[in-house]
Amino acid sequence: MLTKGATQTEIKQETGADVTTRGRFYPDKGLATADHPPLYLHISAADKEMCEKAVVKVQELLTLAQLPNLASGTRDIRREQNSDRIYLDFDHQGYNIRGKIVGPQV
């Protein structure tokens, strides 16, 4: 959902910040390197306020995504200080996180 152009355009229209998908999906994050980081959202804006609004919007969209009950797994959404990367850490067997982020392959 968050990697779709329409969603990223919606975030830009509401907040003024650009959102792009960067990195690469790895089924095992241990395969990621500094040169080839794991999949993440890159948020850039003219000022900090726009960036913060975009982060809040992303978090709202994640909440509305109707994620399955992750009681047996973990869900960690954190934002590094002075960074525009939002890391999503899902550990739930049988939940296709790549499919939810990337969406259907057309």
Give the DSSP letter of residue 47: S
Query: What pLDDT does 88 receive?
Result: 60
Strands 18-22 and 40-44: antiparallel
Query: What pLDDT does 39 receive?
Result: 85
Lookup result for tokens 């779709």: 4
Query: What pLDDT does 85 receive?
Result: 62
| Exposure of 37 in the CB half-sphere (CA atoms within 13 A) | 11
Query: What pLDDT does 15 receive?
Result: 94
Query: What pLDDT does 10 receive?
Result: 92
d(CA 3, CA 51): 17
10-residue stretch averages of pLDDT, the chain, 106 residues long = 85 92 85 88 91 91 66 50 59 63 62
* Ordered domains of the chain (ranges, CATH): 5-102 (3.30.1370)
Query: What pLDDT does 86 receive?
Result: 61
Query: What pLDDT does 90 receive?
Result: 56
Query: What pLDDT does 79 receive?
Result: 55
Q: Tell me the two tokens of residue 60.
A: 């709202």
